[in-house]
Amino acid sequence: MVVTGPKKTIGLIMGILFILVSIYILGSTFGLNIGLEFLDFIVQTIVLAWIVLVGAVFLVIDAITELGSKRMRSLLAALIGILLGLVPVLHSFGILPFTIPDIFGVVVYALVMIILGGFLIWDFTGG
């Protein structure tokens, strides 16, 4: 296991939280009552967009320290996360005239958070 400092540990914690929150979001979207009503504010496209955007930027910072093809894979996943995160954020500021629909967006952002979380965990393990 190759771990270099607190940045990797923060990435691991973020990755685990991303996956857990995504499981909650997907469960609540498809009618599963998990009983964590205090997390219901997260199930909004703009909140998820900000979370994905912050996670993707952190993945870029984390991927810079990786080597070879692992760096490129992490940067590609982060780029997709940044693009998907920027669309609703720029729309909320009136810069873009279009956005991702709410119903479709929640599921997409939950899946993107699972992917970003997986890459953050993968970068922690040095795999």
Nearest-angstrom CA–CA distance, 122 and 19: 13
Kindly report the pTM of this predicted structure.
0.84
* Cα–Cα distance for residue pair 48/104, rounded to 1 Å: 12
99: left (phi over 0), alpha (psi -120 to 50) or beta: beta
Judge whether 83 lies within some domain: yes
Q: Does residue 1 sit within a domain?
A: no
- d(CA 124, CA 1) in angstroms, rounded, equals 8
In tens, the pLDDT along 75-92 reads 999 999 999 889 889 998
Number of domains in the chain: 1
Segment 8-55, tens digit of pLDDT = 888 899 999 999 989 888 888 787 777 767 777 777 778 888 999 999
**Contact between 64 and 71 (Cβ < 8 Å):** yes
Closest CA to 57 of 104, 2, 11: 11
Structural domain of 71: 6-125
